[in-house]
Structure 1
Amino acid sequence: MSNIALLEARPTDRHLHAVPPLPESPAPATRAARGFALYVGLDEVKAAEAGVSLPVLVAALRRTLAELAPEAETYATVALASDAAGGRDVDVVRRALREPSALAALAAETERTEAAARGVEFDISRKRVLIDGVSAAFTFKEFELLQYLVLREGRTIERAELVESLWADASDDEAPGERTIDVHVRRLRAKLGRYEDIVRTVRGVGYRFDRHADVVIRYGHGTPSPDRF
């Protein structure tokens, strides 16, 4: 051992302080298998088609266990679920009986579904807009206005063009002024809520639709953007 090491180890060295021993960590509790659960996805109709019933199957399994492991204790329960519960029968049973990994998988799937529903879905073929999965209550003109901008994505549309295109059949008295377009856009944005910035104002010019990552546009068949020709 070097001289430096010896000096550092001397208890009388005035620069050293006594270090209390670390507390002993409690020994981790041992875990061992205490049994198992067998989930069976089978309703009474399918069991009847196979010429058995659920009580008959349970009794048969218990007899087998009694033969193989006489000391084994058993407990049987029936999983109840609605007819609308989707997925494989065995997964429905696992969820109904609150099996942890099945519940975790269901929660993850629910999260994915909810995440997919968040945002704006503009369905041109069906003439509807979904905001976070809920149908937006746009008026006919509000929908036409948004559709006109969406189909010309990224291009700034002047107010005069919007008036000429969306009110082409209106008489001079019925056609709105360019400032009336601003009113329509404000109402449209209010209904878009937190996604209002997909309709951008280009100061002194007009409006532009900017697609975000949370915006989905479904054109359908036979509805191309006029700017794609």
Structure 2
Amino acid sequence: MVHSVLGQRDSDPDLVLTLQFSNPGSADRQQLVALANALRATAQELVPGVSTRARMDTAPAAAASKTEAIDAPLVIDLPARQVFSRGEPVSLSHTEFEILSHLARRPRVVVSRRRLLELSGNLGERERAGRSVDVHVSRVRTKLGRYGWLVSTVRGTGYRFDPDSRVRIITETAAA
């Protein structure tokens, strides 16, 4: 499946190609990169000046758009900065996404509240920050709904992301 989104950003067209393969054994990574490059070249021929980015996902087909069904109940697409729960987009603030992203990239690793406070940009405002990390983590858990338990509290230390086989985490885009 190939999905593309064409939009406008500062009058320069932007094309995002998402290549999703339900059978990752059918093509190796080099072939997938070659396909992405060929699609980029074709897009540039059709729309001169287009800026292209490609994202590859070789796990079973995920959502190609916000309205398509997602094969996993929770998808965290780190490069696209998107989260989908049961096919519906989850709206996270910048700080909430940074915290979730930081934790998801380090499954089972305890991350200190201080480090998460740095991510939230409140480290210099320590007096006002108070329990802001706890509030952000609480909001992430609430917005993840039934998967909120993926973010565990490690008492007196910080937080940890506990991975689950039903959760898809997309971590990289296709090579440019």
- 1:175 is displaced (CA, Å) by 8.0
CA spacing shift, 1:208–1:118, aligned 2, 3 Å: same
Which residue does 1:158 correspond to in 2? 112
How far apart are 1:161 and its partner, in Å?
Answer: 1.2
Question: Relative to 1, partners in 2 of residues 1:205 and 1:131: Cα closer, same or farther, differing over 3 Å?
Answer: same
Tell whether the 8 Å contact from 2:72 to 2:168 is kept in structure 1 after alignment.
no
In 1, Cα distance between equivalents of 2:151 and 2:123: 28
Q: 1:190 aligns with which of 117, 134, 142?
A: 142
Change (3 A) 1:117 1:218: same
Aligned to 1:136: 90
Local SS of the residue matching 2:114: helix
Structure 1 residue 182: Cα displacement? 0.5
Q: 1:211 to 1:133 in 2, by over 3 A?
A: same
1:126 to 80, 88, 97: 80
Aligned-residue identity in percent: 33
Partners of 1:159 and 1:126 in 2: CA distance: 25
- Normalization by structure 1: what TM-score? 0.43
Q: How does 1:44-193 map to 2 (within 5 A)?
A: 117-167=71-121, 172-173=124-125, 177=129, 179-193=131-145
* 1:116-171, Cα deviation, whole Å (9 max, x unpaired): 5341101011110011111101111111110011111110001011112442xx67
**Secondary structure at the residue paired with 2:124?**
coil
Q: Which has the higher Rg, Structure 1 or Structure 2?
A: 1
Matched AA of 2:167: V
> Distance in 1 between the 2:125 and 2:86 partners?
38
Cα distance, 1:165–1:186 mapped onto 2, change above 3 Å: closer
Task: Give 1:23-34 correspondences, 5 Å limit.
Answer: none
CA displacement 1:4-47 (0-9 Å, x = unmatched): xxxxxxxxxxxxxxxxxxxxxxxxxxxxxxxxxxxxxxxxxxxx
Structure with the larger helix share:
1
Residue type matched to 2:147 in 1? Y
Pairwise CA RMSD of aligned residues?
A: 2.5
Match of 1:172, SS? helix
In the alignment, the residues of structure 2 paired with residue 214 and residue 184 of structure 1 have an alpha-carbon distance, to the nearest angstrom, of: 24
Higher strand share: 2
- Structure 1, unaligned runs of 5 or more: 1-112, 224-229
Deviation at 1:174, TM superposition (A): 7.6
